[in-house]
Amino acid sequence: MTDTAFKPRVFSGIQPSGDLHLGNYLGALKRFADAQNQGIQSIYCMVDLHAITVWQDPEALRHSTRELCAGFIASGIDPEKSILINQSQVPEHAQLAWIFNCVARIGWMNRMTQFKDKAGKNAEKASLGLYAYPSLMAADILVYHATHVPVGEDQKQHLELTRDIATKFNHDYGVDFFPITEPVIEGTATRVMSLRDGSKKMSKSDPSDMSRIALTDDADTIAKKIRKAKTDPEPLPDSVEGLADRPEARNLVNIYAALADMTAEQVVADYAGKQFGQFKPALADLAVARMSPITTEMARLMADPAEIDRILTRGATRAREITAPILRKTYDIVGMVGPAA
Ligand code: ATP
Ligand code: MG
């Protein structure tokens, strides 16, 4: 991690927009858990305000928010060591986002590829919230003065925008108030691809359930999805260079490497010349072995929703000890009175 003048602090969020999947686990959750013991204060967030930028059924949203909290804990995030929160329970996120809407430029927003992907052909019908999403994301991060944000590859552009907002705010008001946050995009699974299409990332919002392995899938379902994953007829090559033009094969090798804590080179060395008929069952066994303890623990936690709600209420109280003074100071810098202390 790079040094900045600000106290190191980690922030990252996941949307309660559907079933957590292997991409979320390898690109985000597993890495959060691995980083937890580095002694850096970390805030992990269920970003429900982001989820509603596209339609969410209210009951499903309530369920997904709790299930996501269970997913964080089951993946190894300790709600005492880290701060675990639900975004809408910490109002300073949305309050700072408004100020950032007035800092960010429309031209910057027009370049955001996630908006283009999610709005699709009919961008006129997309919500204003989906368009402003990256400004709220900047607020999520900067309302904690977070210095480091572990995310998947797909969020790189939003992190750059967060840096642009911080830089412009600091410049416009002549302060050095917001840190220039570093994205942390590391490991072999920063972009896990759809099992049906090697050119698309695995996503909660993909309409095809076969495109992703969910953290709630049982062993048979995981094995079936891997068996049916798109591949090509060639055997595995003897070097990673041999995967360059084979996106589906590369994806399965990267998933194996990330699950086994190996490099892609080591995986290829072990399976060089083998057919997918041999590789896929090995990958399925590995995925089941790694994921089923998480699935079981999530189910156990979900049996006591009141306890999950208590954890989130406590997380919000702890979070606001950080966010309230930062927002107050922001209002001050901008010249606004803001709410009473
Ligand atoms: P949605 O389709 O609703 O946007 P999502 O699957 O993209 O859902 P998010 O909640 O948007 O998930 O992202 C949560 C975290 O997981 C982010 O850090 C993001 O970069 C990471 N992530 C999402 N998809 C992948 C993926 N396929 N590979 C690696 N990391 C991913
Ligand atoms: Mg996403």
Rounded to 5°, angle at Cα 19 from 18 and 20: 115
Alpha-carbon distances of 300 from 91, 142, 166, 168, 294, rounded to whole Å: 30, 34, 41, 46, 10
- The catalytic position among 204, 225, 274, 329 is 204
- The catalytic position among 7, 116, 168, 201 is 201
Asked whether residue 200 is marked as a ligand-binding residue, the answer is: no
Structure confidence by residue, pLDDT tens digits, 39-93: 899 999 999 999 999 999 999 999 999 999 999 999 999 999 999 999 999 999 9
Cβ-count burial 184-217 (b if 16+ within 10 Å, e if not) = bbebbbbbbbbbbbbeebbbbebeeeebbbbbbb
The predicted structure's pLDDT at residue 4: 59
- 7 noted as active-site residue: no
Asked whether residue 81 is marked as a ligand-binding residue, the answer is: no
- 118 noted as active-site residue: yes
Ligand 1 pocket, residue 254 CB under 6 Å: no
Structure confidence by residue, pLDDT tens digits, 257-267: 999 999 999 99
Q: Which ligand is nearest to the CA of 203?
A: 1
Ligand 1 pocket, residue 28 CB under 6 Å: yes
Short-list 251, 262, 130, 141, CA closest to 198? 251
From 203, 215, 259, give the residue whose CB has the most ligand 1 atoms within 8 Å, as the site to mutate. Answer: 203
The predicted structure's pLDDT at residue 279: 97
Asked whether residue 18 is marked as a ligand-binding residue, the answer is: no
The predicted structure's pLDDT at residue 87: 98
What element of type H or E holds 41? strand 41-46
* Shortest-distance atom of ligand 1 to CA 212: 27
Mean pLDDT score of the chain, rounded to an integer?
96
Predicted TM-score (pTM) of the model is 0.96
Percent of the chain with pLDDT over 70: 99
Whose tokens are 């992703």? That residue is: 212
